[in-house]
Amino acid sequence: MVVTRFAPSPTGYLHVGGARTALFNWLYARRTGGRFILRVEDTDQKRNTPTATQQVLRDLRWLGIDWDEGPDVGGPHKPYHQSQRGEIYARYVKQLLEQGKAYYCFDTPEELEALRAKAGPGFAYARPEQFPTDEDAARARAEGRPVAVRFAVPQDREFIVDDVIRGQVRFRPGEVGDFVIQKSDGFPTYHFAVVVDDELMGVTHVIRGQEHLMNTPAHLALQEALGFRTPVYAHMSVTVSPDGGKLSKRERPKVLRQAIQAMGDVDVEALAQAASLSAEDVESFLAGKSVPDMPAIDAMAAALGVSLPEINVVDFFRSGYLPETMVNFLALLGWNPGDEREVMDVQELIAAFELERLTKSNSLFDRKKLMSFNTEHIKRLPADRLLRHYRAFLQETANPATQADDATLMRILELCRGARTLAEIEQKCRFLFVEDDQVVYEDKAVRNVLHKHDGLGVLAEIEKNLKDWTAVTAEAVENLLRRLAEQRGVGLGKIAQPLRVALCGNTISPPIGDTVGLLGLDRTRRRIRRALEGCTQNP
RNA sequence: GGCCCCAUCGUCUAGGCAGGUCUAGGACACCGGGUUUUCAACCCGGCAACAGGGGUUCGAAUCCCCUUGGGGCUACCA
């Protein structure tokens, strides 16, 4: 039975790279009828934040990635937080110590730094002739020195990683230096915890980023020393950002900083307040000295109206992408079904997924293509599913449209066929959810539409024609406009646009008949009147 | 610096392991045209790639080597 896992370290939101790793592991488990485990690698006390785990789980659920074992669902190998598995790791550390395969060391960070500086690049920890005893360790502890444990990596043999994607990768003897397996705070290091947990949890296939390929010989050595199995390894290509380099969460703060610097003078106090930071924090961020957490970054961007590149899964949700899109797109980054299918649903993805078809080379995250996938998925998704996604999207930002009933939202969704994101739909139908006297008239629209080609005159004529209507249909409205266009000998655009601007304040809305239909006669008349009265001055 | 991985249109990729059927296929983007009542969507057409150099072979995008380029790792982070 195939067992895969995703093991995020909860240092922030789940980003797309992590989501892709999770997805591939999940797809493979689902494809083979195996099990998928979620394990939280929270052994770094300095970096983990308490809310991050919940956010990561939430992001995975949004994507539709479920786990058979892990936080919230439990399982036979609990606990699934590494921070709670201390005793287990301690047992194996003890075993290695007793077998003389690992040893204590007492260096302070400063001493280590000095050694590294002296040795230059290619530093390898010098293994002592005699390993310190338990008594030595106790004494060191009593003296307040840090006590860590290093694994004595066999130096006389080569290690061969047998990788599904890359074939055999050889590492010469002496290539892997002795590395720390237990930190002085008592926590295991990543290298140690993965090896132990993968063994204990019965993981058969390790699918992870290529950046881990160089760590694998160390894991192999550890497995051998502990008498563990070696799982099947698949080191996937990495997703890179358009300007080269790994797609990283650091991109958002970077873009924000550049945007602010480009704006010239900004109100630091206001910014600090928006992000609930101190002015010093903001200054320090702008100077490139520090980086606040993601919610603070998001808050500042929102306050300034700067749009940041989406990096985290939640960013794509907020930008109006569907989980179906993300899953489809991410799956195609470094994998393909071997035929010419591209837009696929999850079931198709699962049915077609094979490790053998993973690509070796890195790929660029192309937001343009992502958007085109989203357009396709919006089109092909059943109405009720789309409605659910749209409600979730509206709720995320407490949009007034949340108040609308299902029938209204369904109608909106229908009218917005062809939209590329949920955000576009929201924008296109926002006019429905503002009060008639709150419509904001965009300068550009007023200038180009109402004040050209006798836009106001057209509007007045429409008002006159609408006066004694008692009911309205999209068709009737369009017939009226068509008639007026004919009378004036102009295109429909010259007639429809002034009305659209009067009703929406801008030039974007569903087909004009439907726009009036959604609004109803009274609100339409009120808005026409207001436009006629308020937009006589050229802005 | 050392070690490791990778290399087909601008981008994601098919083809490569079993060399000829590849005058290299698809998708996104882009360009041109059409449809149109705005934004989208839609329809038609077009541009565009085997990184370079050596081999092996009757024959190489496909196999080997070198160069170049890109990426990664080199922590008491994961």
DSSP H/E element including A257: helix A251-263
Report DSSP letters for A338-365, one per residue: SSS--S--HHHHHHH--GGGB-SS-EE-
pLDDT in tens, A311-348: 999 999 999 999 999 999 999 999 999 999 999 999 99
Mean pLDDT, rounded, for A257-274: 87
Distance, CA of A419 to C1' of B29, in Å: 18
A417: nearest nucleotide, CA–C1' criterion: B41
Tokens at residue A309, please?
Answer: 């590149």
Report DSSP letters for A81-98, one per residue: BGGG-HHHHHHHHHHHHH
Q: How confident is the model at residue A115 (pLDDT cuts 50, 70, 90)?
A: confident
Of A128 and A49, the structure prediction assigns the larger pLDDT to: A128
Residue A536's pLDDT is 73
Mean pLDDT, rounded, for A199-209: 97
Angle at A41 (CA atoms; ends A40, A46), nearest 5 degrees: 120
Residue A478's pLDDT is 95
Distance, CA of A3 to C1' of B4, in Å: 27
Taking chain A, what is the end-to-end CA distance rounded to the nearest angstrom? 70
ipTM of the complex: 0.95
Residue A116's pLDDT is 86
E strands, A172-256, in order: 179-182, 205-209, 232-236, 239-240
Residue A217's pLDDT is 96
A194: nearest nucleotide, CA–C1' criterion: B78
pLDDT in tens, A134-170: 999 999 999 999 999 999 999 999 999 999 999 999 9
Residue A532 has pLDDT above 60, yes or no: yes
Report the C-alpha gap between A494 and A498 in whole angstroms.
7
Distance, CA of A36 to C1' of B59, in Å: 48
A146: nearest nucleotide, CA–C1' criterion: B76
Q: How confident is the model at residue A244 (pLDDT cuts 50, 70, 90)?
A: low
- The rounded percent of chain A whose pLDDT value lies above 90 is 79
Report the C-alpha gap between A307 and A301 in whole angstroms.
7
Give the residue numbers of A annotated as catalytic, written as ranges: 249
Q: How confident is the model at residue A403 (pLDDT cuts 50, 70, 90)?
A: very high
Report the C-alpha gap between A415 and A355 in whole angstroms.
41
Residue A252 has pLDDT above 90, yes or no: no
Q: How confident is the model at residue A288 (pLDDT cuts 50, 70, 90)?
A: confident
List, in sequence order, the alpha helices (H) in A6-108: 16-32, 50-63, 86-98
A478: nearest nucleotide, CA–C1' criterion: B37
Cβ burial, residue A22 (10 Å; 0-12/13-18/19+): buried
Angle formed by the axes of helices A216-226 and A86-98, nearest 10°: 70
Break chain A down into helix, strand, coil percent, rounded to 5. 55, 10, 35
DSSP H/E element including A170: strand A167-171
Residue A250's pLDDT is 77
Distance, CA of A184 to C1' of B8, in Å: 50
A187: nearest nucleotide, CA–C1' criterion: B76
- The nucleotides of chain B lying under 7 Å from a protein CB are 1-8, 10-15, 25-30, 36-42, 70-78
Residue A245's pLDDT is 63
Query: Which of A40-44, A79-83, A286-290, A467-471 is the least confident region?
Result: A286-290
Distance, CA of A249 to C1' of B65, in Å: 40
Q: How confident is the model at residue A538 (pLDDT cuts 50, 70, 90)?
A: low
Please enumerate in sequence order all residues whose Cβ is within 8 A of that of A137, keeping only pairs 6 or more positions apart, or say none.
A104, A106, A147
State the amino acid at position A28 in one-letter form: Y
Please give the DSSP secondary-structure letter assigned to residue A213: G
Q: How confident is the model at residue A264 (pLDDT cuts 50, 70, 90)?
A: confident
Q: How confident is the model at residue A502 (pLDDT cuts 50, 70, 90)?
A: very high
Distance, CA of A363 to C1' of B23, in Å: 29
Q: How confident is the model at residue A44 (pLDDT cuts 50, 70, 90)?
A: confident
User: What rounded mean pLDDT belongs to chain A?
Assistant: 93
